[in-house]
Chains A and B, each alone.
Chain A
């Protein structure tokens, strides 16, 4: 089946177990949201699925369209079609946005082939216009000295240009004012289609007013403890996370 499928995933960092048997399936065409209190393991899940070298997988499985991704290099997972929009995008001085995205696109082509510059820039400018980014940004160093909002727009720009099969957005709303939140959300909504699965990780319900999910999962202590429709997010906003934790224990 075409989905990002996670079964009984267990993972740790520096011998500290964070994920305790997490299961979740995101079929293509759906948008899922994971909410949960700080320290519940939301960002860890994003990093483990992306192959971050600091985390160790202790058990379970994760597949992308039935292909295993655990234990692969981060770039291999990326080229299989998983994109992670970072909570804190890294700054890379001296490497321009345009050159970086072009290198990433070239990495997806057979050895020796390269994207055509004219076509590439046309596409890049279209996406930048959609995201309200000044075209001069192409020549700026990747995330170097960007504001929080600029960084997040740049993440969505990369996501649009790489057209991944599955996207994970890790706390994309953090550090955004309301205008930036709207632009970024619109960018994500434009990418919703039947051939793409999207996982939105967020602490607040606010983002989900803009990116309306098909399902909401609640994560606590390294597991999914409850799943519901978009109304679950509102309930969490009203009642907080404690009642779910208590139910989970009971």
Chain B
């Protein structure tokens, strides 16, 4: 019979770390001094420091959202976290210039190899700062900007300041406020009008140090009629103590632009992953969030699209896999704010052992709008008897000129299904993997090829030890 996992699932690819000397260390705990230190190290303009200090106040004022979210949030101890760790060198343009320990980390994660094979640009962040950042020279000539947040705010304020913190205000939630106070790293991207990138840009976020908080800040602006696909991957080693990852990602798709944002996160089980992601879509623009959440202790992430221009389209495609000791609390937000806007949400979650997955969806369509459409499908698959799933849809639709459709399903891999597959000669674990892959197969196809292969492998690894 199928029983819960007794075995610690191995996701060893990311489970290693190098002892590293940091030239800049903001110390332990959060205070105004820590923020002044970060801002000084980064040689920021005064307006950025002001922005940070205001955000700290907001963070301190805001309560933990435990009135709706899990009590586990109370176990985050902000006083023992290190908020800024950096080697103090500018991002290198060649891997040769990257310090050995950092370079070895990314070599082991396969980043330089992927870059050679299929990427138009790469940024590799090690703890607080980017260690490597390079983009195809052709794109640079066309005016594409792909830099870290520090460089973006300093070198291109005329482009980035206009939108910085506008899609996700500091006060959106406690963790967006925290990020706004201590942010470091992340990507700032600008695609000029009409420029369509044939290959994706990629960022890789790596946590190396223990008790460290990673707070990257990403802002992507796709100007009129441009197209870009951005991919991010994340890993961290397994430490005894918990680690915090709290990013803010803002996307702006101007008239007719297309942004696809692909995430594959494979955090170790000690990471609190509390991320705010939101996009603004202008007239006829299209934003797709394609998201896969594997690992972490707790993930709270609800990518959203504000459909502000006529005929704008928003989409969230997400896969979440919750294993023993993990809670994937994910979902989507679709805010319709113009006529004929459409949104689509497809979410699939898998709960293994005592894992728990939750779906939270928010759809808003005010009554004065016409011709808006939303379709939401959320399906949950339970593997073991004590696996858990829950769904919290919040749909507000007014008026009679809009349409909304919501479908949800929960299914369980049954012992009879496994017996049937075993009777054809497949081992129990293989049968289980096939069921799970079958469940998410249509969504995996939405990921770029290079990621979908990796995803299938990760899912197979997660399934090992889930039976027996």
Interface size class of B (residues with CB under 8 A): 20 to 34
The answer to whether A90 touches B424 (Cβ under 8 A) is no
Q: How far is the CA of A158 from the CA of B423 in the complex (A)?
A: 11
> Which of A79, A86, A108 is close to B420, meaning CB atoms less than 8 Å apart?
A86
Interface of chain B residues 431 through 458 with chain A (CB within 8 A): 431, 434-435, 437-442
> Which of B417, B428, B434 is close to A75, meaning CB atoms less than 8 Å apart?
B428
Known: A53-B415, A94-B442. A107 touches B430 (CB 8 A): yes
Question: Which residues of chain A are within 8 angstroms of B417 by Cβ–Cβ distance?
Answer: 90-92
Residue of B420, B423, B430 ringed by the most chain A CB atoms within 10 A? B423
> Which of A54, A84, A94 is close to B437, meaning CB atoms less than 8 Å apart?
A94
The answer to whether A92 touches B425 (Cβ under 8 A) is no
Residue of B nearest to A90 (CB): B420
The answer to whether A107 touches B425 (Cβ under 8 A) is yes
The answer to whether A90 touches B416 (Cβ under 8 A) is yes
Asked whether any CB of chain A lies closer than 8 Å to the CB of B404, the reply is no
Specify the main secondary structure of chain B where it touches its partner.
helix
Question: Which residues of chain A are within 8 angstroms of B159 by Cβ–Cβ distance?
Answer: none
Interface size class of A (residues with CB under 8 A): 20 to 34
Q: How far is the CA of A93 from the CA of B426 in the complex (A)?
A: 17
Known: A73-B422, A92-B421, A162-B425. A100 touches B434 (CB 8 A): yes
Known: A53-B1, A104-B426. A141 touches B438 (CB 8 A): yes
> Which of A86, A104, A141 is close to B425, meaning CB atoms less than 8 Å apart?
A104
> Which of B419, B437, B438, B442 is close to A74, meaning CB atoms less than 8 Å apart?
B419
The answer to whether B427 touches A95 (Cβ under 8 A) is no
Known: A53-B415, A92-B417. A74 touches B422 (CB 8 A): yes
> Which of A78, A83, A108 is close to B422, meaning CB atoms less than 8 Å apart?
A78
- A228 to chain B minimum Cβ distance, whole angstroms, is 30
Q: How far is the CA of A51 from the CA of B417 in the complex (A)?
A: 14
The answer to whether A103 touches B426 (Cβ under 8 A) is yes
Residue of A nearest to B440 (CB): A94
Question: Which residues of chain A are within 8 angstroms of B427 by Cβ–Cβ distance?
Answer: 73, 75, 107
Interface string of A103-145 (1 = CB under 8 A from B): 1100110000000000000000000000000000000010000
Q: How far is the CA of A158 from the CA of B439 in the complex (A)?
A: 22
The answer to whether A92 touches B422 (Cβ under 8 A) is no
- B245 to chain A minimum Cβ distance, whole angstroms, is 31
Q: How far is the CA of A213 from the CA of B442 in the complex (A)?
A: 45
- B356 to chain A minimum Cβ distance, whole angstroms, is 22
Residue of A nearest to B439 (CB): A94
The answer to whether B420 touches A92 (Cβ under 8 A) is yes
Interface of chain A residues 43 through 65 with chain B (CB within 8 A): 50-54
Question: Which residues of chain B are within 8 angstroms of A89 by Cβ–Cβ distance?
Answer: 420
Question: Which residues of chain B are within 8 angstroms of A104 by Cβ–Cβ distance?
Answer: 424-426
Residue of A nearest to B424 (CB): A104
The answer to whether B438 touches A73 (Cβ under 8 A) is no
- A44 to chain B minimum Cβ distance, whole angstroms, is 14
Interface string of A227-246 (1 = CB under 8 A from B): 00000000000000000000
Q: How far is the CA of A51 from the CA of B415 in the complex (A)?
A: 13
Question: Which residues of chain B are within 8 angstroms of A100 by Cβ–Cβ distance?
Answer: 421, 424, 434
Residue of A nearest to B435 (CB): A92
- A158 to chain B minimum Cβ distance, whole angstroms, is 6
Q: How far is the CA of A107 from the CA of B438 in the complex (A)?
A: 18
Q: How far is the CA of A52 from the CA of B31 in the complex (A)?
A: 62
- A161 to chain B minimum Cβ distance, whole angstroms, is 10
The answer to whether B438 touches A92 (Cβ under 8 A) is yes
- A108 to chain B minimum Cβ distance, whole angstroms, is 6
Given contacts A93-B439, A95-B437, 8 further A-B contacts (CB under 8 A): A52-B419, A74-B419, A78-B422, A78-B425, A86-B423, A90-B420, A94-B438, A99-B434
Chain A to chain B contacts (Cβ below 8 Å), 26 pairs? A50-B423, A53-B419, A54-B415, A73-B427, A73-B428, A74-B422, A74-B423, A75-B428, A78-B423, A78-B424, A78-B425, A83-B423, A86-B423, A91-B417, A92-B417, A92-B420, A92-B421, A94-B437, A95-B434, A99-B434, A100-B421, A100-B434, A103-B430, A103-B434, A162-B424, A162-B425
The 5 A-B residue pairs with the shortest CB-CB distance in the complex, in nearest-first order: A94-B438, A95-B438, A74-B422, A90-B420, A104-B424
